[in-house]
Amino acid sequence: MKRRVVVTGIGAVSPVGNDALESWQNVIAGKSGIGPLTRLDPDQYSAKVAAEVKDFDIEKYVERKEARKMDRFTHYAIAAALMAVEDAKLKIDDSNAERIGVWVGSGIGGMETFEQQFETFQKRGYRRVSPFFVPMMIPDMATGQISIYLGAKGVNSCTVTACATGTNSIGDAFKVIQRGDADAMIAGGAEAPITQMSVAGFCANTALSTNPDPQTASRPFDLNRDGFVIGEGAGIVILEELEHALSRGAHIYAEIVGYGSTGDAHHITAPAPGGEGGVRAMRIALQDGGLAPEDIDYINAHGTSTPYNDKYETMAIKEVFGEHAYKLAVSSTKSMTGHLLGAAGGVEAIFSVMAIKEGILPPTMNYVTPDPECDLDYVANEARKANVKAVLSNSLGFGGHNATIAFKKYE
């Protein structure tokens, strides 16, 4: 018998809100967090817009002296984790610390720290490089710091699978609990990639939208889509073994039941033709969760607003679901949040469980000109009430990483 695992807490820092509930409410209202690029000089880049976190104060969560020893992606991760643990009303102490773990990933880690410290090295030599440079930069430090701040001594790991990172992290943490290695896991992703070199790199490989209008730059599945909008933030969920959650009277958002993870073995950035790797990830998640294709009511798509991703993800959904592909709903919340890279799967998992809990499908904004090759129900431009019993959340990353997690209404 597989141990059942439920979601009992959520926490987020995102371009659409500095907590999970605000982020959800704004997405349901169709409010975008995308605006002009302000962290950098937009004149230096082909991309002029970004999905930046706004009015975030790390000192609400961490003392200034300690915050200065962390990169911004770790700031977001700690804040989201603390909010998720508080939301779950999960007390961590000597009685349970060794059975509570942390699995939070980041796609590129502390790029801002790397750039700043390299500039210091060039101008002033190695002696002036911060002694905290390496522990600030490495992607696993979000997990490390969350563990330290919360006292969680169980499984402690970090996934780095580019844009699939958050979903892989939650899926891997789910399996830790399911096989009995922990009773609860703090899981998700964090990213702060709006830096000189990150944006330069994505502009150089023409992945970013060059549409200067913040309101329409991210337009997943639309015929005129031209690239993703870079975003930042963190999304963290508390996963808990069902009996452990019930024994303490925890609130349950949804049950996580399936996880699929595959590799394209195709190309360093382009998805495999027809979304073949995504097809297998979705099928594995369905099988793992004991779900039939017709059980799925909604898919939170990867939906990056890039030409190939949206086309191939649509093809993959059709391959997996057949005629049911035209009966289920699909949407991309990246139309409002932008693409949070390694944090995307964490934030989108939160939106997925909230869709189940609230019975509302978040919209795909900016869907104006239909693409004949993208012909599913994308919940265009307005949220929709629905009886949502089961959901898939997809994430697809550079390097051919595909990850899908399946949630269903807790019964």
Whether residue 407 lies inside any domain: the answer is no
**Tens digits of residue pLDDT in 273-311:** 999 999 999 999 999 999 999 999 999 999 999 999 999
Provide the percentage of residues in the chain whose pLDDT is more than 90: 100
Report the domain count for the chain.
Answer: 1
What pLDDT does residue 77 have? Answer: 98
**Tens digits of residue pLDDT in 153-202:** 999 999 999 999 999 999 999 999 999 999 999 999 999 999 999 999 99
CA distances from 223 to 125, 164, 227, 374, 384 (A): 50, 24, 12, 8, 23
Taking the chain, what is the end-to-end CA distance rounded to the nearest angstrom? Answer: 17
> For 261, phi and psi rounded to 5 degrees?
-140, 125
Do 120 and 129 contact (CB within 8 A), yes or no?
yes
The residue length of the chain stands at 411
Whether residue 82 lies inside any domain: the answer is yes
Cα torsion 23, 26, 27, 33 to 10°: value is -80
Whether residue 101 lies inside any domain: the answer is yes
| Token pair in block for residue 340 | 């949070």
Above 90 in pLDDT, residue 114? yes
The domain in which residue 147 lies consists of 1-399
Q: Among the options 75, 158, 244, 339, which is catalytic?
A: 339
Above 90 in pLDDT, residue 315? yes
Place of tokens 């963190």: 234
Question: Could you say which DSSP state residue 67 is in?
Answer: H
Choose among 81, 84, 198: nearest CA to 142: 81
Above 90 in pLDDT, residue 1? no
Place of tokens 């989108």: 348
- What is the CATH number for 85? 3.40.47.10
Per-chain mean pLDDT for the chain: 98
Q: Among the options 163, 244, 374, 401, which is catalytic?
A: 163
CA 24 to CA 31: how far, in whole Å? 10
| Token pair in block for residue 408 | 């269903």
> For 95, phi and psi rounded to 5 degrees?
-75, -25
pTM of the model: 0.98
Instruction: Confirm whether 339 is a catalytic residue.
Output: yes
